[in-house]
Every structure is written in structure tokens, then in C-alpha cells.
Amino acid sequence: MADLVDIKIIDPGVDDNIAKLTPERIKETINKVLTQETAARLKVYMDTCVHCGLCAEACQSYVSRDKDPDYAPVAKVRDTIWEMVKRKGDVDGEFLHNAARIAFVDCGACRRCSMYCPFGIDISYLIMTVRRIMNLLGVVPQYLQDTTNSHAATMNQMWVQQDDWIDTLMWQEEDAQAELAGTRIPLDKQGADIMYSIIGPEPKILAQLIANMAIIFKAAGADWTMPSTDGWDNSNMAMYSGDFETMGRVERLHWDTASQLKVKRVVMGECGHAYRGAVYDGPRWLGWTKPPIPMVHAVEYYYELIKSGRIKIARKIEEPVTVQDPCNIVRGRGLQDKLRYIVNAICEDFRDMDPRYEHNYCCQAGGGLINCGPPWKLSRMKSNRVKADQIHDTGAHLVITPCHNCHSGIEDIIGHYKLGCHVSFISELLVKTMEMPEA
Amino acid sequence: MYEFVSGPLVWIAFIGFFGGLLYQFVTTVRLAKKERVVLPTMSPKFGLRSLLHWVFPFAGVSTRARPFFTLISFAFHICLLVTPLFLMGHAVLWRQSFGLTWWSLPEGVADVMTLVVIFGCLFFVVRRLVQPEVRNVSEPSDFVLALVVLAPFLTGYIAHQQWLPYQTMIIIHIVTGVIWLLAIPWTRLVHMLWFAFTRAYMGSEFGSVRHSRDW
């Protein structure tokens, strides 16, 4: 039985909108997605799943909630898409309320379960199909929908206006210059080697990360630029709210911007889902097999800089550290070894989590979960006790998280379970540990 | 009666089995062409790499995590596929009907393998009743399917041991075997066909697109 407190959570984006739906609209919408937007994968996955339950142990929410069977991935699928298919879309408001909770808050689409399903059923795809249906019904948690609305209206996630954007970059340039004289944030530099793109929350609430990166680029002697216009945001919450049309617009603009700047590659900040959006989901929706310009995640870029000696490490972090493997760059890009190379280069006492690499547990924040906002925070915490245990068992004081969602999610977990650790991005540690060149 | 079940009915079973699988395959490939990602993503190299890690027990984290379940599950599936094909009693029929001669299992080995299938079926049913995460998603059809698989092996074993009237048991054995074969393309037993493809697709996506491993 799913958590009774969580079942009763009222989210206006979900419940007010369910109240406006008619049975006909529900049925029509579900069947539209089932017949026009899905094909072989849904059919084969539905036909092949033998209800063996081997996926259960893979899910952090199942493990964290004392093996409550309703949190097993297969149960989440049964309580959402199976029923929609079986009842041919004939489902009621109560069903949709429950399905919204499951699809938007209880599954982070991290794909760990597909590594435990003997058939490799893409359960995250099934959950994303549920989200797509919910989006077309207008049933999306309010906070998450707000970020999607922001993407649609401003082409960034946080309602950042262009003057604010440019002003923030100039402010960060000044801050960076105080650390390393001569640091610039070059805007709209045609033909630069690198366009640096970031996620909306950075200029809004974590602006110092932009200065950090400017310092790293300066120290490495990189030829880089950032756009002054829309298209600078590589994040994509529309991808997770099921609004694939907006997702496509955001990704197209991001790549158009990079193309107009004629850069050789795009380096992106420390974010996981943005990588997924820019490299897989976005291009696929747009009908491209791959992005038009190579995309390099910050972890790959830092690795390149340290390995080649373009930046040198002058001192190391002494306190014990551990690292979170973000799903979208480890299970989604295989960056686990490069990540550890960097961590070992800048930290003296690195302690790995168990399990680790592709088998590390999800942060229960990515996949749009944390964006569902305060109504769901406690539920997220209950669903990730296993991450608290993992961190605690390492004995680390610092958790390195090269992903914004992992960062915020683990910060929440540390607070909730009183682990007494702190969380850091790699860029924050790099500017503390690297050798600053003479200006 | 025996003439009918061992003649036309068996033909119906084979035609239904192969025809059903072919139909599923053709219609699904057609559906797959409608998807933007499935066929372009399929990679023989990464698909096979993943499959190899899943067709050998203990080659991946998942199978290593449950050694007991893995052993039973692999033994069950191997015996399930091998025994009917290479049973001596069946070999005689292959020769009579199609003139095909091939190697067959020694009698004692075939007996043990049949018992493994029977035990495996019972194990899966008990697991379904006892393990909360499995019971929670079990439907009546899951138990019926276990029975459909169990029946031909159990009746075949009883007939072979001659515990009950042989002729009757053989007829029941053939009928249950026919039901089993006919059920495969149209029920969740179709995982026999799709296993390789779903796994290969996931292996391809993890390997060629996401540069990581799915085992």
C-alpha cells in the first residue's frame, strides 16, 4: 500500500486540473497517445513483462520505504500505464491523481531498474509516456508546470529576462576578476572554440558558479563565449513534464544559438538532465540522430584540462569526500571513471559509495522530481533513505555532485537525515585547489 | 483419438506456433518503423554485448545479486527448451513424421531435466505467492500461464513413468503441449521471442547512445 500521507497530498496543478476534466477528454487523450505517439516499444514491453518483480530491488524508493511493494517499478507501471491500456483510457480522477504522484514524484526516470529487468524493459520510457499523457491532460504538479511555462515564455527555466541575464554575467565577470585578474566572460564571440551553456537556475540563484567557470576557462587559456541572447539555457523541464513540443523548441534554440556562434563545441555546466535533453531527447524529438555540434559535459571538460595539464592542482581537499554518480552522465554517458579521476586529483581522501558507477542509487531529485516543489519534499525524503545510508556509510564530510538536481536533492537528504555533511560542485573545488596563473 | 491428437492437432500446433510468432514479429517490426528511435538505435555490437551478459548466469550484477533465483531460473529455462527438442520419445516422432534424425538425451538425464522444469514451475508459483513485491503485481493469468507450462511436462513425466493409464496420459500430454505452443505467441510467454530483442535494444541504447553498460 502506497504511503497514505503521500496519497493525500493535494497539488493544485494536479487536483484542480483533474476537476476540470470530463471522462471523454480523459479517454480521448489517453487513446491519442496510445495509438499515435507510441508503437512497438509500448506493445512489446506490455506483452513481455512477466510480472517477476526483479526490478523492485533496483528502485531507491522501494528499498527506502521498507520494501513497500507499491513502490516497485513494476507496480508503478501497473498502477499507471497498464491500467490505461487495459481500460482503454477509461480511468477516473482518483486514478489520475494517483498516477500523477507515481509518474512525477515516485519515479525519477533514472533507468536503474532496466539494469535489473532480465528483459531490459525501459520502465522509465513507460513512466515518461504516462507523463506525456498527463501533460496533454493538463495534469502536472504546479511547480513543475511553472518551470515549463517559463521555458515556453522566456526560453529559460527561471523567468530570467535578457537584461538580467547580461547584467548577471557582467556582475560575475567582475567577481571572477577579483579572483583572477583579466578573467572575461566573452559574449557572442563568433567562431570561438567553445560555447558555454548553463541551466536557468545558475544566473537566478547560483550565479557564483558562472564566475567559477570563467576562472577555470581563463586559467586553461580557453577560447570561449556565452550568448547574450535566449538559447543560453540548456536545461529542459518541459522534457520531464511531458511537454515535448516545448522541449523541442528549447533544444532547437540552444543548438541554433551555438550554430550561429559558429563554435566548435558546446561545453555545459555541471548538470545531468540538461545533458540528456541536449544530446538525446531533444535531438530525437527534432528528428536528428545527434546534436549538430559536439556537446561536452563539464566532467569531461575538467578531465581533459587536468589530464592534459592545462590546469594544475596546487593543493588538495583534505576532508573525506564521496561522489554521487548522476544518472544522466554516468548511466547516461559513462563518465564514472573521468569523474573519479578528477575527484582523486583534487581530493586526498576519496571514499566511494556502495553501490557505485552505473549501479549507484538515484538522488530522487532529478527527472523533474525536485521541481515538483515543496508539497512533495517530504515524500522525496522518505523515498531516499537508502541514499542517506550510502552517504553515512562512506564517512565522508563532503559529497561531490556534478549535477544540479543531485546537488539539491542530496542537500535535502543531508538536512532531513541530519548527516552533517555538505555538498559541492566540482567547479567550486577546482577554483580552491587549482594553481592560479600569473595574470 | 490418439490418431487425431498426434496427427492433425500437432500440425495445428506447429503452424499456430510458428505462424503466430511470425505474425507477431512482422507486425511489430512494422510498428517499430513508426518509432524514431528503435531501429536507428539498434546496434549489433552493443546489443550482443548486452545479451551475452544476460544469457550467462552471474555475468551481471543482477544475476549475481540473487544466486539461488538465478540458478533455478537458468536451469528451468534451459531444461524447458532442451528437453522437448531432444527427448528420445520425441526423437522417434521427429523421425517418423519428418525423417529428421538427431541426437537425443539419455533417459535418466531427460527425467531429471523434466523434474527441473516441474520444480521450477512450482518454485515460480510459490515465489509469486510468498514474495510481496511479486504477489502485488500477480494476476490470475500469471498462475494460469505457469499451469500451461507445467502441464505438458507433468503429464509427459507421468505418462513416461506409467503411473496412470499410458494412452490417456499421452493424449492429455499432447493436448497440453499443443495448448502451450499455441499460447506462446499470444500471451506473456512471448517473452521467448522478445527477450533477445528487448535486451538487445536496451544494450544498444546503453552502449551506443549512452556509452554505458546495462548489466
Which strand (E) or helix (H) includes residue B42? none
Record: contact B137-A331, CB cut-off 8 A: no
pLDDT tens, residue by residue, A251-267: 999 999 999 999 999 99
Cα separation, A268 vs A202, in Å, equals 12
Q: Which residues of A fall within a CB distance of 8 Å from B203?
A: 120
Task: Choose the closest CB to B50 out of A53, A120, A280.
Answer: A120
pLDDT tens, residue by residue, B57-71: 999 999 999 999 999
Instruction: Give the gap in angstroms from C-alpha A301 to the nearest C-alpha of chain B.
Output: 17
Mean pLDDT for all residues in chain A = 97
Cα separation, A53 vs A74, in Å, equals 7
What percent of chain B lies above the pLDDT cut of 90?
Answer: 86
Does residue B6 surpass a pLDDT of 90? no
Q: What angle do CA A276, A81, B210 make, to 5 degrees?
A: 20
**Which residues numbered 281-310 in A keep a CB inside 8 Å of some CB on B?**
284-285, 287, 289
Record: contact B188-A50, CB cut-off 8 A: yes
Instruction: Give the gap in angstroms from C-alpha B205 to the nearest C-alpha of chain A.
Output: 9
What percent of chain A lies above the pLDDT cut of 90?
Answer: 97
CB atoms within 10 A of CB B128: 18
Cα separation, A119 vs B200, in Å, equals 9
Q: Could you tell me the strand order of the sheet in which A398-400 lies?
A: A347-350, A317-323, A398-400, A422-424
Cα separation, A241 vs A138, in Å, equals 10
**Which residues numbered 51-110 in B keep a CB inside 8 Å of some CB on A?**
54, 60-62, 65-66
pLDDT tens, residue by residue, A186-244: 999 999 999 999 999 999 999 999 999 999 999 999 999 999 999 999 999 999 999 99
> What is the sign of the dihedral through the CA atoms of A319, A325, A333 and A297?
negative
The answer to whether the beta carbons of residues A189 and A262 sit under 8 Å apart is: no
pLDDT tens, residue by residue, A33-61: 999 999 999 999 999 999 999 999 999 99
Question: CB-based contacts of A328: which residues, under 8 Å, 6+ apart?
Answer: A272, A273, A275, A276, A366, A403
Instruction: Give the gap in angstroms from C-alpha A336 to the nearest C-alpha of chain B.
Output: 9
CA-nearest residue to B57 within chain A is: A118
Whether residue A52 lies within 8 A of chain B, CB to CB, comes out as: yes
Q: Which residues of A fall within a CB distance of 8 Å from B135?
A: 69
Whether residue A353 lies within 8 A of chain B, CB to CB, comes out as: no
Name A195's bridge partners.
A225, A266
B50, B137, B188, B193: best mutation site toward chain A, by most A Cβ within 10 Å? B137
CA-nearest residue to B203 within chain A is: A120
pLDDT tens, residue by residue, B129-181: 999 999 999 999 999 999 999 999 999 999 999 999 999 999 999 999 999 99
**What phi-psi label fits residue A66: left (phi over 0), alpha (psi between -120 and 50 degrees) or beta?**
left
Instruction: Give the gap in angstroms from C-alpha A348 to the nearest C-alpha of chain B.
Output: 27
pLDDT at residue B98 in the model = 80
Cα separation, B81 vs B101, in Å, equals 18
pLDDT at residue A2 in the model = 86
Question: If DSSP states are collapsed to H, E and C, what string results for B75-132?
Answer: HHHHHHHHHHHHCHHHHHHHHHHHCCCCCCCCHHHHHHHHHHHHHHHHHHHHHHHHCH
Nearest to A140 by CA among A101, A112, A178: A101
Does residue A439 surpass a pLDDT of 60? no
Cα separation, A21 vs A25, in Å, equals 6
pLDDT tens, residue by residue, B103-134: 899 999 999 999 999 999 999 999 999 999 99
Q: Which residues of B fall within a CB distance of 8 Å from A69?
A: 132-133, 135-137
Does residue A133 surpass a pLDDT of 80? yes
Mean pLDDT for all residues in chain B = 94
pLDDT tens, residue by residue, A177-188: 999 999 999 999
pLDDT tens, residue by residue, A66-111: 999 999 999 999 999 999 999 999 999 999 999 999 999 999 999 9
Whether residue B199 lies within 8 A of chain A, CB to CB, comes out as: yes
Does residue A122 surpass a pLDDT of 90? yes
**Which residues numbered 319-338 in A keep a CB inside 8 Å of some CB on B?**
330-334
In this prediction the pTM is 0.96
Record: contact A51-B134, CB cut-off 8 A: yes
Whether residue A54 lies within 8 A of chain B, CB to CB, comes out as: yes
Task: Choose the closest CB to A333 out of B54, B194, B212.
Answer: B212
Q: Residue B3 — pLDDT band, cuts 50, 70, 90?
A: confident
Record: contact B210-A39, CB cut-off 8 A: no
Q: Which residues of A fall within a CB distance of 8 Å from B74?
A: none
Instruction: Give the gap in angstroms from C-alpha B118 to the nearest C-alpha of chain A.
Output: 18
Please give the C-alpha separations between residue A181 and each of A169, A174, A189, A431, B19, in angstroms, as whole numbers: 16, 9, 20, 14, 75
Find the mean pLDDT for residues A359-379.
97
Instruction: Give the gap in angstroms from C-alpha B74 to the nearest C-alpha of chain A.
Output: 11
Q: Give me the interface pTM, i.e. the ipTM.
A: 0.95
Please give the C-alpha separations between residue A407 and each of A206, A268, A400, A424, A426, in angstroms, as whole numbers: 12, 16, 8, 7, 11
Whether residue B140 lies within 8 A of chain A, CB to CB, comes out as: no
* Pairing between β-strand A224-225 and β-strand A317-323 as defined by DSSP bridges: unpaired
Instruction: Give the gap in angstroms from C-alpha B115 to the nearest C-alpha of chain A.
Output: 22
B187, B212, B214, B215: best mutation site toward chain A, by most A Cβ within 10 Å? B212
Name A265's bridge partners.
A194
Instruction: Give the gap in angstroms from C-alpha B83 to the nearest C-alpha of chain A.
Output: 22
